């Protein structure tokens, strides 16, 4: 069974928080879908707060469908072929949402003047990354397009199921608004053999960019895991807004969003037994 | 008092600002004096910009090329502690070797992957006397060189504008040509304030779309400057 905490804080430098997050947890608390998206926020991507919301909505919808159909429960032919279809479906559905939104909300005269390239290819204005995971008792699927971080804690050690992309420096990122975006998705399919992870942590790059190096950043996941085990979920829920605010103010200065999925410990009450979707 | 925040030590993001200065013999006299004055004069405004952008840590260094190619300021200095030591002119224009020296410091490591796009400012009054093209090609193999904001200032019309344009590598950013001290002061102040400010908080950009870093650079307004042609 899983327990979830999620929070997002806005950068003092941005007029809007362009990050988005969403999660689903099943009634029995054994199946979880999490998604985090980071709208680019550049001058050209002036609707990226909307694009990031579309991204998390699409991922929740698609993973929910596969969960219901048990698509990934007994993979005979491996995951890699399916991952390409998954990436294409996510990209396609995001584009459809953007197209519909543009039809209903055409560019304003001010938006039309922002950049000729964006006027020609208006989906650029919705540009966003996407991170996610589908967690079940039998397997976990991790997914990533663009920057951001997925950390997993098991036996008090931290690992990255999807390695950092060394090509993404200087705030460059892959984006759903790229016409070839589906080609840049990265996946990791992890069958559960033995123990489930203790913690799965998704975060936008504003979190990792607040630390001088990978080690200092990875301590966040270890500390959250230890806090959960020693103090329980309430303490994390009570303090996380303050912690994230302190982090962005003294670190990257970027919007900062995280979702923490803890493997429930025996003495931790798992609250109400209802399925829920939370933005 | 609340529970200690999860995670290690926090840190703002390093923004490396590197002057690459021609100190060849042709710079002797008024040019080198003007250059020393202009950089020293720009420091207070640069510090103010850095103070206004606490999420970036501006770190300054300087390469000179003339009699020898060396780090005039080799250890990255926090802008708050930055003091200018005058450079002296003499020798040839080994700009290619300066590119090699720069390339070594733009590798990962010593750079980290979380830095902000560096700002590289080339100032010259002449043309390379060594193999600039090969050295530049080698420099541009480094990811951080490609992502850097590269600016070029010519001191007088004898500077090789094609070399400066190649260094900048962005049609939207033109080489600035200073013909007198007033213009040089203005251009150096622009590079160390307006560009540093833009580089301090860049938004995410689509991979592959960038020409030179992801910093929107607005060229300085030169209409109010003295138009005297001294150099």
**pLDDT tens digit sequence for B143-199:** 999 999 999 999 999 999 999 999 999 988 999 999 999 999 999 999 999 988 888
Chain B CB contacts of A10 under 8 Å are none
> Is A211 close to B206, i.e. CB distance below 8 A?
no
**pLDDT tens digit sequence for A196-251:** 999 999 999 999 999 999 999 999 999 999 999 999 999 999 999 999 999 999 99
> Is B147 close to A174, i.e. CB distance below 8 A?
no
Task: Please report, for chain A, the start and end positions of each structural domain, with discontinuous segments joined by +.
Answer: 2-278
> Is A253 close to B210, i.e. CB distance below 8 A?
no
Q: How many other C-beta atoms are found inside a 10 Å radius of the C-beta of residue A16?
A: 14
**pLDDT tens digit sequence for A108-126:** 999 999 999 999 999 999 9
Pairwise CA distance, residues A161 & B230, whole Å: 62
Size of interface A-B (CB pairs under 8 A): 142
> Is A170 close to B5, i.e. CB distance below 8 A?
no
Instruction: Flag whether residue A257 sits within 8 Å of chain B, measured between CB atoms.
Output: no
Of the candidates B64, B66, B72, B69, which has an alpha carbon nearest to the alpha carbon of residue B92? B66
Measure CB to CB from residue A169 to each of B53, B143, B203 and give the nearest one.
B143
**pLDDT tens digit sequence for A12-51:** 777 889 999 999 999 999 999 999 999 998 889 999 999 9
Average pLDDT for residues A5-17, to the nearest whole number?
A: 89
pLDDT at position A276: 72
* Mutation for testing the A interface, residue in B2, B6, B150 having most A CBs under 10 Å: B6
- pLDDT band for A76, please (50, 70, 90 cuts): low
- pLDDT band for A102, please (50, 70, 90 cuts): very high
pLDDT at position B88: 97
Pairwise CA distance, residues B213 & B196, whole Å: 13
CATH topology of domain A2-278: Phosphatase 2c; domain 1 (3.60.40)
CATH number of B13-200: 3.40.50.410
pLDDT at position B211: 44
Report the length, in residues, of chain A: 279
- pLDDT band for A270, please (50, 70, 90 cuts): low
pLDDT lower than 70: segments of chain B? 1-2, 202, 208-214
Pairwise CA distance, residues A98 & B55, whole Å: 32
**pLDDT tens digit sequence for A172-184:** 899 999 999 999 9
Average model confidence (pLDDT) across chain B: 92
Pairwise CA distance, residues A75 & A243, whole Å: 40
Q: Give, in order, the Cα–Cα distances in Å from B207 to each of A20, A177, A178.
A: 21, 11, 9
pLDDT at position A31: 96
> Is B206 close to A40, i.e. CB distance below 8 A?
yes
Pairwise CA distance, residues B40 & B63, whole Å: 16
H or E element that contains B72: strand B69-78
């Amino acid at each position: 069974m899983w327990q979830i905490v999620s929070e997002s804080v806005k950068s003092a430098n941005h007029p809007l928080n362009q990050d988005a997050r969403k999660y689903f947890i099943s009634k029995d608390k054994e199946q979880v879908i999490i998604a985090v998206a980071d709208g680019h926020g550049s001058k050209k991507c002036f609707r990226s707060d909307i694009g990031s919301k579309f991204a998390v909505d699409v991922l929740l919808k698609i993973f929910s469908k596969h969960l219901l159909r048990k698509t990934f429960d007994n993979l005979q032919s491996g995951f890699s072929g399916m991952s390409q279809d998954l990436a294409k479906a996510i990209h396609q559905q995001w584009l459809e949402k953007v197209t519909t939104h543009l039809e209903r909300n055409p560019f304003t005269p001010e938006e039309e003047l922002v950049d000729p390239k964006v006027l020609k290819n208006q989906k650029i204005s919705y540009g966003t990354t996407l991170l996610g995971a589908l967690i079940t008792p039998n397997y976990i699927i991790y997914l990533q397009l663009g920057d951001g971080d997925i950390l997993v804690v098991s036996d008090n050690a931290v690992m990255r199921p999807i390695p950092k992309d060394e090509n993404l420096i200087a705030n460059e990122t892959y984006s759903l608004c790229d016409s070839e975006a589906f080609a840049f998705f990265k996946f990791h399919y992890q069958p559960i053999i033995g123990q489930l992870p203790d913690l799965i942590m998704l975060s936008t790059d504003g979190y990792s960019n607040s630390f001088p190096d990978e080690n200092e950043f990875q301590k966040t996941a270890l500390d959250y895991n230890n806090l959960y085990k020693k103090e329980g979920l309430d303490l994390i829920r009570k303090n996380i807004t303050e912690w994230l605010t302190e982090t962005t103010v003294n670190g990257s200065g970027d919007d900062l969003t995280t979702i923490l999925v803890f493997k429930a410990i025996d003495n931790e009450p798992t609250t109400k037994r209802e399925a829920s979707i939370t933005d | 008092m609340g529970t200690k925040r999860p995670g290690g030590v926090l840190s703002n993001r390093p923004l490396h600002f590197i002057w690459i200065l021609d100190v060849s013999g042709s710079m002797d006299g008024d040019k080198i004096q003007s250059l020393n004055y202009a950089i020293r004069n720009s420091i207070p405004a640069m510090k103010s910009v850095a103070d206004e952008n606490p999420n970036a840590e501006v770190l300054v260094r300087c390469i000179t090329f003339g009699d020898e190619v060396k780090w005039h300021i080799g250890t990255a200095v926090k802008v708050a502690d930055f003091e200018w030591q005058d450079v002296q002119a003499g020798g040839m224009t080994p700009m290619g070797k300066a590119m090699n020296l720069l390339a070594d410091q733009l590798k990962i490591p010593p750079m980290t992957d979380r830095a902000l796009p560096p700002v590289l400012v080339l100032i010259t009054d002449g043309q390379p006397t060594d193999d600039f093209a090969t050295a530049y090609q080698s420099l541009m193999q480094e990811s951080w060189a490609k992502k850097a904001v590269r600016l070029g200032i010519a001191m007088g019309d004898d500077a090789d504008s094609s070399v400066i344009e190649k260094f900048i590598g962005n049609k939207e950013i033109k080489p600035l040509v200073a013909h007198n001290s007033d213009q040089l002061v203005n251009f150096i102040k622009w590079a160390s304030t307006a560009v540093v400010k833009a580089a301090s908080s860049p938004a995410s950009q689509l991979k592959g779309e960038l020409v030179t870093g992801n910093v929107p650079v607005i060229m300085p307004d030169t209409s109010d400057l003295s138009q005297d042609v001294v150099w």
